[in-house]
């Protein structure tokens, strides 16, 4: 490969941090759903999947994502609505 295509000085961006409670917390599922939506919004779903242990479209988080969808609708958050709807379609 030509050195013109290699950027040896590139600094990879650090993994985003998601404020997740302990996995045994009753709030973990909600926080995981929010982290997946946030990761998708940042264009980095894989980091959220690694952090939460859930995959995009995991049916286990449907109730939490539906709550996020309703909240986004009430707040007029079009991007949040779009992402939550996309997540829900992925569960079908």
- What DSSP designation does 75 have? H
Domain residues for the domain of 75 are 26-90
Residue 2 pLDDT greater than 70, yes or no: no
Structural domain contains residue 12: no
In a domain, 10, yes or no: no
Domains in the chain, number: 1
Summary mean pLDDT of the chain: 89
Asked if the structure places residue 16 within a domain, the reply is no
In a domain, 20, yes or no: no
In a domain, 1, yes or no: no
Tell me if 51 is assigned to some domain.
yes
pLDDT tens-digit map of 51-92:
999 999 999 999 999 999 999 999 999 999 999 999 999 998
Residue 78 lies in a domain: yes
Give a three-class secondary structure readout of 1-59. Answer: CCHHHCCCCCCCCCCCCCCCCCCCCCCHHHHHHHHHHHHHHCCCHHHHHHHHCCCCCCH
């Amino acid at each position: 490969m030509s050195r013109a295509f290699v950027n040896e000085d590139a600094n990879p961006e650090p993994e985003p941090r998601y404020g997740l409670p302990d996995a045994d917390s009753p709030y973990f599922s909600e926080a995981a759903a929010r982290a997946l939506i946030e990761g998708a919004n940042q264009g980095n779903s894989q980091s959220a999947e690694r952090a939460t242990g859930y995959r995009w479209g995991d049916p286990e988080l449907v109730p939490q994502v539906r709550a996020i969808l309703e909240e986004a609708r009430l707040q007029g958050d079009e991007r949040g609505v779009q992402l939550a709807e996309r997540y829900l379609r992925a569960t079908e």
